Amino acid sequence: MGDIRVGIGGWVFAPWRGIFYPPGLTQARELDYASRHVTSIEINGTFYGAQKPASFRRWRDETPDDFVFSVKGPRYATHRRVLAESGPSIDRFFDSGVLELGAKLGPVLWQFPATTRYDAENFGAFLDLLPREHAGRTIRHVLEARHESFADPDFAALMRRHKVAIALIDAEDQPGFDEPTADFVYARLKRAAEEVATGYEPTALDAWSARARTWAKARDVFIYVINGAKIRAPAGAMALIERLAP
């Protein structure tokens, strides 16, 4: 059986204070608290700019030993027309200190604009640039493709050859690619509704729990309640963790 990780995107979000975070909890302790109520967190800040090595070390040290972070790759690598030119941005990202997370470094998510269309040569060049290991550590990669042109079976075949996962997105305005292409599954749940205490209805959480158990028979699983009514994301993640408990 593979490991199943369930989490949220980031941990600094003011509306969570007094709802997810207890009243009076200082912001400096929010990661410590969050990492003991979910089993993974997707770091979003790396998408917008480089973080300091000291920050990665601090995040590593503030979280439990079995905790895992996923990390967004920088937009400077993905938001360009010629992806073969992304090499310097990818290299800078991996040299920026992200490996200071050590064993807590999970998949790296490469998120492409909704306007980017599938082009086999362009994406093949990008995949060739992704390091399979860095400084002796194995690196897992996942791509979030948001244009319907990626429904091409050739895209899944390309990803399978490179052993890179396709993010499974649960959203009204994005295609949901349910095509395992790597040794892990990466799902981002974006339909949380504010009027539902857990974001997703209990029946929907039951269904995602069942899918996670099925995937875990052959692969590791990462699920993030990531968008929609973000205020409900922690409750949704914790409700899913409860369903997946042995």
Three-state secondary structure call for residue 241: helix
Q: How far apart, in Å, are the Cα atoms of 53 and each of 47, 59, 175, 189?
A: 15, 10, 35, 29
Residue 187 parent element (H or E): strand 184-189
Number of structural domains (the chain) is 1
Residue 16 amino acid letter: W
Residue span of the structural domain in which 125 resides: 4-244
What does pTM read for this prediction? 0.96
Contact 96, 51 (CB under 8 A): yes
Per-residue pLDDT of the chain (246 residues; tens, 9 = 90+): 899 999 999 999 999 999 999 999 999 999 999 999 999 999 999 999 989 999 999 999 999 999 999 999 999 999 999 999 999 999 999 999 999 999 999 999 999 999 999 999 999 999 999 999 987 889 999 999 999 999 999 999 999 999 999 999 999 888 788 889 999 999 999 999 999 999 999 999 999 999 999 999 999 999 999 988 999 999 999 999 999 998
CATH number of the domain enclosing 57: 3.20.20.410
